[in-house]
Amino acid sequence: MSEGEPNHDPLIGATLGGLYHVERLLGVGGMGRVYEATHTHLGKAYAVKVLPEGRADKPDATERFLREAKAATRIEHEHIVKIINFDSDDAHRLFIVMELLEGENLADRIDRGALPVDDAIEIAKQTGSALQAAHDAGIVHRDLKPENVFITQRHGRDFVKVLDFGISKFKNPEHGDPKLTATDQIVGTPLYISPELARGIATVDHRTDIYALGVIMYEMITGSPPFTGENHFQLLYKHGNEAPDPPSQRSKKASIPPHVESAVLCALEKNPADRFDSMNDFVAALEGSKAPRRTGTFAIPLLATAILAGVAFILWPSAAPQELPEPPILAQPAVTEKSEGPAETSQIEPAVERVKVEVDSRPGRAFVAVNGDKQGRTPLTLELERGVEATVRFSLQGYRAQEHRLVPSEDDALVVRLKKKSRPKPPTIKTEF
């Protein structure tokens, strides 16, 4: 039988610290085995996480174990698992006592398929609330993944509990900061790792958790993470260098609202400065109450701005002429002369109906032109005439320009991925031996 089977687990039936009688195994992870245990005096059931034998004598493992307990108790939020006790017994076994939860982790929920968008937003909202509290307390989780998001029920509704702050980062780090995961690879889990962690940057902030929640939200609404690979190295490279496909291109079940897609893609920006300022902002954008925006700003002097604008005007490529006639511009009511009748009559043309199209690009800050007229840089909102074809052109230095012809009928969104211009290959030098 496997290692995880209770019949061969020596802790089943043991009493940890003289107080917690171990009943059954609940789960196994890289940093511990979790059991259901009953308090011998109170008769109440708890979840007890025990550091595996062989790791208790490793300073980085014990530090990570202690860090998990300290981080969770320091935050005290309803969506973070409650820590009851941290102790060791006569057998030198380290264990953490937590509230016992009934339900499933988010990974098991996603395994059954993509979630309805509203359900995914609610889970992200509760998870983001917990992490916002952690960030306010100066703690970055750094290992957020579906396995660490537990879904229980409260009043008949999903209720989230965030688990495992074992590799969390404190604003004022203590000595002995662990650098390895259970697989001895790198801080964080490769499927959900932020670009800065993938590149091995030592100093990270709360925006690394925003990226991870963006990956989780992407997976919830599409059924698969934005990046996959045959090994950790491929995943690290993709997180650090490749732009994700828009979720709407991956979704097989239902349409994804434009504001949700924009929010997810903003959270997945490679540069932390281009993501949301906070978890609260990310959640607000998912709910449609806040438009995604990049936090990175450019303080350019007025003269430099004028010079750049002039260069952009000179280099701006002209769009192909349109076959359709331009819509009439109504400067004043149109007067129609009639051949019969004693007097002239006038009639007002009907108002032009317009729709809004949210446009964005990967990478961002691409120039946008509509029918040859410059509109600005992405992301931005275009107001186009309903039912009239328009050509939207994206261009960015170093990337191939793209044109998209639209006949808008309702409010919509357009996100494009620009491809880098190919560089000439160096000549091949053949060497004979």
Please give the positions annotated as active site.
Answer: 143
Roughly what angle, to the nearest 10 degrees, separates helices 279-286 and 258-267?
Answer: 160
Roughly what angle, to the nearest 10 degrees, separates helices 279-286 and 117-136?
Answer: 160
CA 89 remoteness from chain centre = 41
Roughly what angle, to the nearest 10 degrees, separates helices 258-267 and 207-222?
Answer: 140
Q: Which distant-in-sequence residues (6+ apart) come within 8 Å of 375 by Cβ?
A: 368, 369, 382
Q: What angle do CA 331, 336, 337 make, to 5 degrees?
A: 140
Contact in structure between 131 and 77 (CB atoms under 8 Å): no
The SS3 of residue 289 is coil
CA distances from 186 to 99, 150, 183 (A): 29, 24, 8
Q: Are strands 412-417 and 354-362 parallel, antiparallel or unpaired?
A: parallel
**Which residue intervals of 97-243 are DSSP H helices?**
106-111, 117-136, 195-198, 207-222, 232-241
| Residue 390: exposure state from Cβ atoms within 10 A (0-12, 13-18, ≥19) | middle
Q: What is the dihedral of CA 131, 358, 305, 273, to 10 degrees?
A: 20
Sheet holding 32-39, edge to edge: 15-16, 20-29, 32-39, 45-50, 94-98, 83-88
Distance CA 36, CA 133 (A): 28
Q: Are strands 104-105 and 94-98 parallel, antiparallel or unpaired?
A: unpaired
Q: Tell me how crowded residue 88 is: count the other CB atoms within 10 A of its CB.
A: 14
Give the torsion sign (CA, 68, 73, 77, 78): positive
Largest pairwise CA distance in the chain: 111
